[in-house]
Structure 1
Amino acid sequence: MTKKIFIIIGLLTTYLSGYSQYTTLNAHSHNDYQNDIPFWSAYYAGFGSIEADIWAVNGELMVAHQENEINAERTLDQLYIQPIVKLFKMNGGKAWGKNNNTFQLVIELKSAVEPTLSLLVRKLDQYPEIFNQKVNKNAIQVTITGKQPAPSSFDKYPDYIYFDGNLNQKYSEAQLKRVPLFSLNLKEYTKWNGKANIPANDVKRISKIIDSVHQLGSKIRFWGAPDIINAWKVLINLQVDYLNTDKISKLAEYLNNYNHTQYTAIEQHIAYLPTYAYLKKPMRVKNVILLIGDGMGLAHLYAGYTANMGALSIFNMLNIGFSKTSSADSYVTDSGAGGSAFAIGEKTNNRSIGVDALGITHENIPELLSRRAIKSAIISVGDITDATPAVFYAHQSERDWAEKIADDFMHSPVDILMGGNPKVFTSRKDGRNLLDELKKKKFQIIMDFNDINKLNKGKAIVLDDKATCSKIDGRSDFLPKSVSKSCELLTNAPKGFFMMAEGAQIDYGGHRNDMQYVIREMLDFDLAVSEALKFADKNNETLVIVTADHETGGITLLDGNYSKGMIDGQFSTNDHTGIMVPVFAYGPHSEDFRGVYENTEIFKKIITAFGIIRK
């Protein structure tokens, strides 16, 4: 009985569906012998498929692409067989000692099938425990491509020898069991150059071919495909089993990070749509809520928007500007200098907290406002002595001086403090318990966030390390609830209030190059923005500002799907970048935040909104 490989009618593969299980085992080192270090580069990169071209010359198998490139020192034995034998002995009969994964060796016959294939079999027969999976289930798979015997001759060769398939070839069921792979020239199906998407008609044609191969229980590889990130991404979305590459390290890096650069929605919230009531009746500014998404750039925002299926409360704010983030001593700021620009209105050096580039202390916003009896609240879903919250109550030349920063709070007029790291207040080298001292200053102290509703009017401190837990690891609604509760506590302040709330862990996700981390924190931050906007709609004298101190991760978005909340991105760094960050504003004086300006202007715009004029 014979079976023709027909193209299956109907798309079983959904283009752009995503395929989350890709690893370096899905990588194929094309013409591997042309690398500076044949075999070992692909092996140590964890590739699941490695290709070598061979020629039969005087009873020996030589490795070369063209016959005129044959070199007596480059034999299949030297470059592949003996290295594989060595590593199997070293790893106790496995390709990799740490797991049971194996790989396939794709051998392209350049010279005539015979005697080339028989020479190969004689060499491999010496090591059945390495090349025969019936002898050793962890043995590698040998697949013959290029020149091949007719399918009717497959059974003349040992059953550990497999063959690359041909779509136009008829195979019996028994023969198909010897065809685990189909390697096709992509250029025969599309002229696509790897940029943007494959044309729709070509996608249909290619998808049908992929599905037909998968229906046979075989895997597929396209050679001649563009060898760039966008092409790898598109081929993954099409569920191509092996990605063909001549760029081992780049593809390995892409695949090793693949699961950290993808996200598909697991939660969704309804974006808050403000009333824009302040537009109808201009009001003075009595309250300012500044929300800082630490490390939040445009890509973070749009990733969050896409993951939330095309909705963010932040994007419902009408007035938008851009802040230039460089510090006094660096094109790329850190949170100390970036936050200090907001808090004291001065450019300063990286690592500085509330002092200028010369180390001179300047009054921060809460200190300036306290002279007018305006209350203040500082909130973070991170260490409350970390740079961004610290700049609003401390003055130190080094951001790591946590105990000194906590001590500065003892002299700060801030009325509400919510965040993590209580130990820096209670278990100190100087033996002091700052929380006991703060109780004497009439602060309500809460050490368990679950007790936050016990707070009533007056000064309050909430310190709970649950604040420093990530959303991925189970943090609750600490940030949005802290914003809501602080608004409740301060709503009746006669002269108004200033609040800074930080989405600290957007930055952490950027540093980790973890898209899920970034997006989960981004969406939590948006919920906090929703609470601020809701309060502003109840109190038309409230100005809400949303911005970032810098961008982290250098994120680019390569693909997305609004209906699935799916994002596919890349990180260019695990640190901060120098790109401008957006500023969103809502409420009276929000139009003042339009344009492009230095980050220090945010300080000036805030105090001007409060009616304070500084010379």
Structure 2
Amino acid sequence: MSRRTLPRRPPQPLPIPAASLDTRRDTVSGGIVTHLSRRQAIGTAGTLTLTAATLTTGLAATPAAAQHRPRHRPGTGPAPLRRAHAHNDYEHERPLLDALDHGFTSVEADIWLVDGQLLVAHDAVDLDPARTLEALYLDPLLARVRANGGSVHAGHRVPLQLLIDIKTAGDPTYRELSRRLRPYHSILSSATATRVHTRAVTAVISGDRASRLPMTEERTRHAFYDGRLDDLGTAAPASFIPLISSNWNSSFRWLGEGPIPPAERRLLRDIVGRAHAARQRVRFWATPDTPGPARDAIWSELVAADVDHLNTDDLAGLESFLRSGADR
């Protein structure tokens, strides 16, 4: 996904010189894929390989995210906001927890398969061995759901969407992810060929499209697939593709200045209508996210069209917008 500078604690980066990186636009997910040079990394079936010394240094230098504590006591936090999606959530000072404190019900984490570990970062230069998917998301969520009697948001039976954007090769990365999700089965929604069991957290897999095949091969999945507009109206059911995501700029030219063109409004509502008829949710990335009237106009149009997830890096801004009565 596109990147916006956010305040965050300094990472303990892996020693990969920026000059050795080749950054290219990911046309599938809208993100940035940074490719390591052959001298800096050895790619094995889509994984990145680092030295043991580097891993040890990084682990010792960075505190585990699981040690972070929410600012609200159980039962005292804000009511959850069903449309609020935290894009690049891991770049906030307190990944996951800041979004939950603002009432968000969907968070996004980019993952890289590195020496068998799933590290969370936007770019390869930011990889930190202590910032694993388990440490930043899965372990804190497990503890929170247990403390709240089965809910992410205390007192509210609203599932949290954990959108996991795969940055390395989809097939091997998903297979490792699937293995690592299993110990958290008690909090994760799951699916078989005939049934979906909704639990406190629903993992949805985005990013590299090669994750789709190994997902279809599983008899029991603890994750679901993030579809694209060309998945609308296909045979793939909502039990496999519950979410349809798209780059806003691929379908729309309106960026919030002046009224939305009637043809674009009709297109937006047609997309949402088709998805909802198939029991699928809708999310657009790359919508304007600079505070101001244009962003408010975009958000208002998305709410009016019943788009399910509003994408932002500005947690306080979206919370204020939605709690002001915009989402009624």
| Same fold per superposition (TM over 0.5) | yes
CA contact (8 A) 2:84 2:318 kept: yes
**Structure 2 residue 114 is matched with structure 1 residue 57:** yes
What are the Cα deviations for residues 448-469 of structure 1, in whole angstroms up to 9, with x where unaligned? Answer: xxxxxxxxxxxxxxxxxxxxxx
In structure 1, what is the equivalent of residue 141 of structure 2? 84
In structure 1, what is the equivalent of residue 207 of structure 2? 146
Distance 1:172 1:226, change over 3 A: closer
Distance 1:249 1:97, change over 3 A: same
Query: Does the residue aligned with 2:203 lie in a helix, a strand or coil?
Result: strand
Distance 1:113 1:191, change over 3 A: same
CA contact (8 A) 1:29 1:246 kept: yes
Distance 1:120 1:171, change over 3 A: farther
- 1:37 pairs with one of 89, 94, 97: 94
Return the alpha-carbon distance in structure 2 between the equivalents of residues 237 and 53 of structure 1.
29
* Equivalent position amino acid for 1:257 in 2: S
CA contact (8 A) 2:120 2:131 kept: yes
- 1:60 to partner: Cα distance: 0.3
CA contact (8 A) 2:170 2:211 kept: no
What are the Cα deviations for residues 286-306 of structure 1, in whole angstroms up to 9, with x where unaligned? Answer: xxxxxxxxxxxxxxxxxxxxx
In structure 2, what is the equivalent of residue 253 of structure 1? 320
* Equivalent position amino acid for 2:210 in 1: P
**Structure 2 residue 248 is matched with structure 1 residue 181:** no
Return the alpha-carbon distance in structure 2 between the equivalents of residues 46 and 133 of structure 1.
24
The root-mean-square deviation of aligned C-alpha atoms, in Å, is 2.4
In structure 1, what is the equivalent of residue 305 of structure 2? 238
- 2:267 pairs with one of 187, 205, 208: 205
In structure 1, what is the equivalent of residue 152 of structure 2? 95
Return the alpha-carbon distance in structure 1 between the equivalents of residues 248 and 233 of structure 2.
23
Return the alpha-carbon distance in structure 2 between the equivalents of residues 58 and 176 of structure 1.
33
* Equivalent position amino acid for 1:164 in 2: D
* Equivalent position amino acid for 1:239 in 2: D
- 1:166 to partner: Cα distance: 2.0
CA contact (8 A) 2:90 2:96 kept: yes
- 1:152 to partner: Cα distance: 5.3
* Equivalent position amino acid for 2:172 in 1: P
Distance 1:58 1:151, change over 3 A: closer
- 1:192 to partner: Cα distance: 1.8
Distance 1:212 1:36, change over 3 A: same
Query: Does the residue aligned with 1:149 lie in a helix, a strand or coil?
Result: helix
What are the Cα deviations for residues 428-456 of structure 1, in whole angstroms up to 9, with x where unaligned? Answer: xxxxxxxxxxxxxxxxxxxxxxxxxxxxx
Return the alpha-carbon distance in structure 2 between the equivalents of residues 110 and 230 of structure 1.
32
**Structure 2 residue 296 is matched with structure 1 residue 229:** yes
* Equivalent position amino acid for 2:252 in 1: T
Return the alpha-carbon distance in structure 1 between the equivalents of residues 213 and 116 of structure 2.
26
Matches within 5 A, 1:93-492: 93-133=150-190, 137-149=198-210, 151=212, 153-157=214-218, 158-169=220-231, 173=235, 175-227=237-289, 228-258=295-325
- Provide the TM-score with structure 2 as the length reference: 0.67
Query: Does the residue aligned with 2:229 lie in a helix, a strand or coil?
Result: coil
- 1:153 to partner: Cα distance: 4.4
Return the alpha-carbon distance in structure 1 between the equivalents of residues 233 and 177 of structure 2.
24
In structure 2, what is the equivalent of residue 556 of structure 1? none
Identity of aligned residues (%): 32
- Provide the TM-score with structure 1 as the length reference: 0.37
Task: Determine which structure has more spread, i.e. the larger CA radius of gyration.
Answer: 1
Return the alpha-carbon distance in structure 1 between the equivalents of residues 81 and 257 of structure 2.
23
* Equivalent position amino acid for 1:114 in 2: D
CA contact (8 A) 1:197 1:234 kept: no
What are the Cα deviations for residues 458-493 of structure 1, in whole angstroms up to 9, with x where unaligned? Answer: xxxxxxxxxxxxxxxxxxxxxxxxxxxxxxxxxxxx
Return the alpha-carbon distance in structure 2 between the equivalents of residues 199 and 66 of structure 1.
36
Distance 1:230 1:200, change over 3 A: same
In structure 1, what is the equivalent of residue 42 of structure 2? none
* Equivalent position amino acid for 1:31 in 2: N
Return the alpha-carbon distance in structure 2 between the equivalents of residues 168 and 195 of structure 1.
28
CA contact (8 A) 1:93 1:129 kept: no
Return the alpha-carbon distance in structure 2 between the equivalents of residues 170 and 191 of structure 1.
21
CA contact (8 A) 1:100 1:138 kept: no
- 1:74 to partner: Cα distance: 1.5
Distance 1:200 1:149, change over 3 A: same
What are the Cα deviations for residues 167-207 of structure 1, in whole angstroms up to 9, with x where unaligned? Answer: 22488645542101011111112222223322222222222
- 1:133 to partner: Cα distance: 4.9
Query: Does the residue aligned with 1:194 lie in a helix, a strand or coil?
Result: coil
What are the Cα deviations for residues 82-116 of structure 1, in whole angstroms up to 9, with x where unaligned? Answer: 11111012112221221211211000000011321
What are the Cα deviations for residues 210-252 of structure 1, in whole angstroms up to 9, with x where unaligned? Answer: 2222222101011111122222111111211111111111111
Distance 1:219 1:65, change over 3 A: same
* Equivalent position amino acid for 1:147 in 2: D
Q: Give the paired residue count.
A: 240
Distance 1:229 1:145, change over 3 A: same
Return the alpha-carbon distance in structure 2 between the equivalents of residues 218 and 198 of structure 1.
24
Query: Does the residue aligned with 2:270 lie in a helix, a strand or coil?
Result: helix
* Equivalent position amino acid for 1:253 in 2: S
Return the alpha-carbon distance in structure 1 between the equivalents of residues 140 and 212 of structure 2.
31
CA contact (8 A) 2:182 2:222 kept: no
CA contact (8 A) 2:173 2:211 kept: no
